[in-house]
Amino acid sequence: MDKHYLTPLFAPQSIIVFAGQVDDPSSLSPRARALHQALTAQPYAGALRFVDTRTTGTLADLAQTGYDLAIIALPAPEIAAALEIAGRMTCRAALVITSGITAEGAAELKKIARREGVFLMGPNGLGLQRPHLQLNASAAGPLARAGSLALVSQSGALTASILDWASQNGVGFSSVVSLGPNTLVDMAQVLDFLANDRHTQSIVLYLEGISSARPFMSALRSAANAKPVVVLKAGRKPAGNAAAQTHSGAIVGSDDVFDAALRRAGAVRVRSFVELFSAAKCLASRYRPVGNRLAVVTNGGGPGVLAADWLNEIHLELGRLSPEPAGLLQPQLPALASLSDLIDLSEEATPAHYRAAIETAARDRQIDGVLAIFSPKEGIDASEVAQALAEVKRGMGKPLLSCWMGDASVVAGRGILNDAGIPTFRTPEAAVGAFGNIATFYKNQQLLQQTPPPLSAMAKPDIEGARLIIENVLSERRQVLTEMESKTLLSAFHIPVTQTILARSANEAMMIATQLGFPVALKIDSPDISHKSDVDGVALNILNATGVRDTFADMMQTVSRLKPGARINGVTVQTMARTRRGREVCVGLVTDDPFGPVIAFGAGGTMIELIDDRAMELPPLNQFLARHLIERSRVAETLGAWRGAAPADISALEQILLRVSEMVCALPQLREMDINPVIVDESGAVAVDARIVIDHAPQAVSGRANTYSHLAILPYPARYENVWPLRGGGEYTVRPIHPDDAQMLQKMMSHLSQESRYFRFISSMVELPPSMLARFTLIDYDREMALVAVFRERRPGATGHMEETERIVGVSRYVTNPDPSSCEFALVVADDFSGKGLGTRLMLSIMDVARDQGLSEIEGLVLAHNPGMLKLMKSLGFSIKPFAEDPDFKLVTHAL
């Protein structure tokens, strides 16, 4: 049960191949012929059998035989029959590499695979390679060399091109997967396997599209949390939705949303095929996330300046040596060397000079990575300089990249660098761009670690009141809320709005304005007018009652003429936002297919579409994400002190963004929203105008509570947090795990007894490996859950004073099985808290969560010589049976 469910596909011990008459290659299709050659070109360690389903007398024999993987490369009419045979042979996985299968044909194959319980990859893909297993089950050419980089591609042509490039650049792969457009085993499931694959250290994806955002984001976040992921996506779509009823909907394109999704998942996006290769080089070198300060070591000023220019262009920093290291390095360099900005070694630089400079930069805490540039010089051997880099690299903990400029004279040097695992590039710009990918990965990892709850810690919103407003609008068969309704909805979530009252006549408008106090603003109120300014439906700074009367009459007449069919409720009268140096911003919401709701922030006002300033983030948000969203916008530059104006209240904007996040989580009916403008100054922020578009909520998953199925990222499930009394006195908190728990979890692991560690992990490891620790603490709450028991204790601190600290003293978790109606659990309790009721409480709590998620059964494996756990299972009503696959274990199950 500890093996991944796709192990039969990616690491089969036995394979049966349906490809036709392989003893007569002329009778085979091109795909089948390529597959036969690929499978037999190298010795595969497992059992491999080729069969022809058209040969009489073999089907009955086959049905009695079991194989892990069936590979099918038959003509389209024969695939369904072969897949059914594979199912009767109890094959757990099937790979169909036949091309040209229609969507209808692929749907029929999926139906058969589901019925037979087979994990189906294909058709219309090139297959897969697993070089370390000597397995080439593909039509993508020769088997790639073994390495730590996984490639998953939705394009067969691109797969073949990358493999051809890799063979010439010394890049090896742990896995190569070419997915067709209609496969049952999709991108998300492949990512899930690779995230747990010990042979894979980094992942490259080529995407043309995804069908379901939640499983894709879940798998991508899990993978990117454990290892670097770089994505190249085709089909970038420009902004502009003609059907949009808000400014935000008009300026936000689906490609912008995809960018936001990848950032939040902790992955890195590249924009071109060339950049993908650059990223692949760095990933293959296993460089971990770093900051954005790159030192440039060069023997020529021109190439160094080009590198520095490109660093500035892509918003990275030139890494400069600190004064002390620079002072120690200077005497070791040629007389003409300069260390002021670039580490310019001059034309006299030798291999020893490069070595000294790179070693110094590697030790400097003000530098995150080093780029070594070499230009051919008379009397200097490029290969010897490359060898110096190769020797330095062995002791470096920071990224080391190289740019060997020129051609014939540096070819041998490039070969040395490739063999040493040092990414090498032909131009300074390409090298800097590759480092930018590493730095972006570091930044995006910070976003990945954020797991906000659906509601913030601020005052509780009136969710029921907001739902009543929405239900009333939908009952009238409307989708666009009036300004009054929109502002009432915002007020329910404590978003500050200008006081607004609807007037249906000029006389009523005068009385309202007099009560509110001048100056006031008048705005047309109509569900049919999206942009009021376009029809002269906005009048500002009206100073007296006469002005209100005349403006009301003029506005009604003008709007009726410009929009003769529009329904007009009247005119809203509202106080003017009293701010002399306020900045106008816009907070918006769009709904993307397939990523769902996306929160946008940028410059506001009437020229929003012309300015085209938009930054986006997927909900839910917390304060870190809200601040990051504001900082990514262009309007952020105007929010500081500017031309005598005091800095704007950024915290007020953050609170509005957090409130909008709460709205998005709690109200799945929201489709589009403009809060434009929000006027912000040093004293706060207020929403002056708002327009909201709604529709009926998407159907929730049957049998599951609060699934937030409209969101691509599930919020932190704070509802499962509870405080329980501790047997013997005191109390502890049981709550879902989050990424910040990593250190506490590792500390608990290191303090477990050897017996407890073995009972939990069937291993004597003293601490969790980094990849496992990451996987255990950043989880997808939709398909798994981990609950931690947290105990607060008082201990002497570093200063000798008593300090309250938190400690994890127990963990229960489950992971949903592929079926997906059951789950597998695990449990561990700190030795010094054994016998205090934690194990029982953690099991009951995790069972409650599984039941709440619609699961019907929970199961687990317990060592037969673990009497304490078996006793606990029996007391909780679990069924205990022998485990057929291993007599050392007992299988325990419980219906939920």
pLDDT tens readout for residues 280-317? 767 666 666 578 999 999 999 999 999 999 999 998 99
Nearest partner of 883 among 896, 866, 875, 872, judged by Cα: 866
- What's the pLDDT at 156? 87
| Angle formed by the axes of helices 382-393 and 351-363, nearest 10° | 30
Q: Please enumerate in sequence order all residues whose Cβ is within 8 A of that of 81, keeping only pairs 6 or more positions apart, or say none.
A: 53
- What's the pLDDT at 63? 61
Per-residue burial over 171-205, b if 16 or more Cβ lie within 10 Å, else e, is: bebbbbbbbbbbbbbbbbbbbbbbbbbebbbbbbb
Residue 383 has a CB neighbour count (10 Å cut-off) of 18
Q: Mean pLDDT across the stretch 178-203?
A: 89
Percent of the chain with pLDDT over 90: 61
Whose structure tokens read 């009301």? Answer: 552
Q: Mean pLDDT across the stretch 336-348?
A: 93
> What value does the CA radius of gyration of the chain take, rounded to a whole number of Å?
32
- What's the pLDDT at 758? 83
Per mean pLDDT, which range of 68-77, 244-253, 496-505, 610-619 is the poorest?
A: 244-253
CA dist 673 to 192, 247, 465, 534, 714, Å?
A: 34, 9, 18, 18, 21
- What's the pLDDT at 254? 79
Question: 0.75 exceeded by the pTM?
Answer: yes
- What's the pLDDT at 11? 95
For residues 363 and 355, is the Cβ–Cβ distance under 8 A?
Answer: no
What's the rounded Cα separation, in Å, for the pair 299 and 44? Answer: 49
- What's the pLDDT at 811? 97
What's the rounded Cα separation, in Å, for the pair 447 and 292? Answer: 16
Per mean pLDDT, which range of 55-69, 114-128, 190-204, 740-754 is the poorest?
A: 55-69
What's the rounded Cα separation, in Å, for the pair 828 and 776? Answer: 13
Our CA dihedral for 119, 125, 127, 131, rounded to 10 degrees, sits at -120
What's the rounded Cα separation, in Å, for the pair 284 and 415? Answer: 15
Helix and strand counts by DSSP (H, E) for the chain: 29, 36
CA quadruple 235, 240, 241, 247: dihedral sign: positive
Percent of the chain with pLDDT over 70: 93
Question: Strand 424-425 to strand 520-525: parallel, antiparallel, or no bridges (unpaired)?
Answer: unpaired
Angle at 376 between CA 375 and CA 378, to 5 degrees: 135
Per the model's pLDDT, the better-predicted residue between 644 and 70 turns out to be 70
pLDDT of 367 > 90? The answer is yes
- What's the pLDDT at 242? 44
Per the model's pLDDT, the better-predicted residue between 854 and 577 turns out to be 854
What's the rounded Cα separation, in Å, for the pair 655 and 649? Answer: 10
- What's the pLDDT at 263? 92
Q: Please enumerate in sequence order all residues whose Cβ is within 8 A of that of 117, keeping only pairs 6 or more positions apart, or say none.
A: 87, 92
Q: Mean pLDDT across the stretch 784-803?
A: 81
Per mean pLDDT, which range of 81-85, 166-170, 439-443, 811-815 is the poorest?
A: 166-170
pLDDT of 253 > 70? The answer is no
Q: Mean pLDDT across the stretch 129-152?
A: 94
Per-residue burial over 12-40, b if 16 or more Cβ lie within 10 Å, else e, is: bebbbbbbbebeeeeebbebbbbbbebbe
Per the model's pLDDT, the better-predicted residue between 819 and 781 turns out to be 781
Residue type, 827: L
- The three-class DSSP label of residue 157 is helix
Q: What is the DSSP string of 600-663?
A: EEEE-STTHHHHT--EEEPSP--HHHHHHHHHHSGGGGGSSSBTTBPPP-HHHHHHHHHHHHHH
Residue 241 has a CB neighbour count (10 Å cut-off) of 16
- What's the pLDDT at 240? 45
- The three-class DSSP label of residue 95 is strand
pLDDT of 553 > 90? The answer is yes
Q: Tokens representing 43?
A: 């010795």
Nearest partner of 229 among 261, 274, 185, judged by Cα: 261
- What's the pLDDT at 533? 85
What's the rounded Cα separation, in Å, for the pair 628 and 445? Answer: 13
What's the rounded Cα separation, in Å, for the pair 81 and 622? Answer: 53
Grade residue 133 by pLDDT with cuts at 50, 70 and 90: very high
What's the rounded Cα separation, in Å, for the pair 655 and 556? Answer: 36
Could you tell me the strand order of the sheet in which 722-725 lies?
Answer: 722-725, 731-736, 784-796, 802-816, 822-829, 857-863, 889-895, 879-882
- What's the pLDDT at 706? 54
Q: Tokens representing 139?
A: 């039509």
| Angle formed by the axes of helices 742-751 and 770-777, nearest 10° | 120
Task: Output the average pLDDT for the chain.
Answer: 88
Grade residue 251 by pLDDT with cuts at 50, 70 and 90: very low
Q: Mean pLDDT across the stretch 36-65?
A: 76
Our CA dihedral for 171, 443, 239, 538, rounded to 10 degrees, sits at 180
pLDDT of 84 > 80? The answer is yes
Q: Mean pLDDT across the stretch 605-609?
A: 73
Our CA dihedral for 548, 552, 555, 560, rounded to 10 degrees, sits at 180
Angle at 542 between CA 541 and CA 544, to 5 degrees: 140
- What's the pLDDT at 600? 95
In the 3-class helix/strand/coil scheme, how is 224-289 assigned residue by residue?
A: HHHCCEEEEECCCCCCCCCCCCCHHHHHCCHHHHHHHHHHHHCCEEECCHHHHHHHHHHHHCCCCC
What's the rounded Cα separation, in Å, for the pair 588 and 602? Answer: 9
pLDDT of 789 > 80? The answer is yes
What's the rounded Cα separation, in Å, for the pair 730 and 446? Answer: 35
- What's the pLDDT at 577? 77
User: What are 468-506's pLDDT values in tens digits?
Assistant: 999 999 999 999 998 899 999 999 999 999 999 999 999
- What's the pLDDT at 255? 83
Q: Mean pLDDT across the stretch 252-278?
A: 83
In the 3-class helix/strand/coil scheme, how is 679-704 assigned residue by residue?
A: EEECCEEEECCEEEEECCCCCCCCCC
User: What are 511-522's pLDDT values in tens digits?
Assistant: 999 999 999 999
Per the model's pLDDT, the better-predicted residue between 54 and 543 turns out to be 543
Nearest partner of 545 among 524, 573, 578, judged by Cα: 573
Q: Mean pLDDT across the stretch 220-238?
A: 82
What's the rounded Cα separation, in Å, for the pair 808 and 794? Answer: 14
Q: Mean pLDDT across the stretch 706-716?
A: 85
Beta bridge partners of 48: 15
For residues 53 and 20, is the Cβ–Cβ distance under 8 A?
Answer: no
In the 3-class helix/strand/coil scheme, how is 703-757 assigned residue by residue?
A: CCCCCCCCCCCCCCCHHHCEEEECCCCCEEEEEECCHHHHHHHHHHHHHCCHHHH
What's the rounded Cα separation, in Å, for the pair 640 and 682? Answer: 10
Per the model's pLDDT, the better-predicted residue between 194 and 61 turns out to be 194
Q: Mean pLDDT across the stretch 82-111?
A: 91
Nearest partner of 375 among 323, 318, 306, judged by Cα: 306
Grade residue 774 by pLDDT with cuts at 50, 70 and 90: confident
What's the rounded Cα separation, in Å, for the pair 532 and 480? Answer: 14
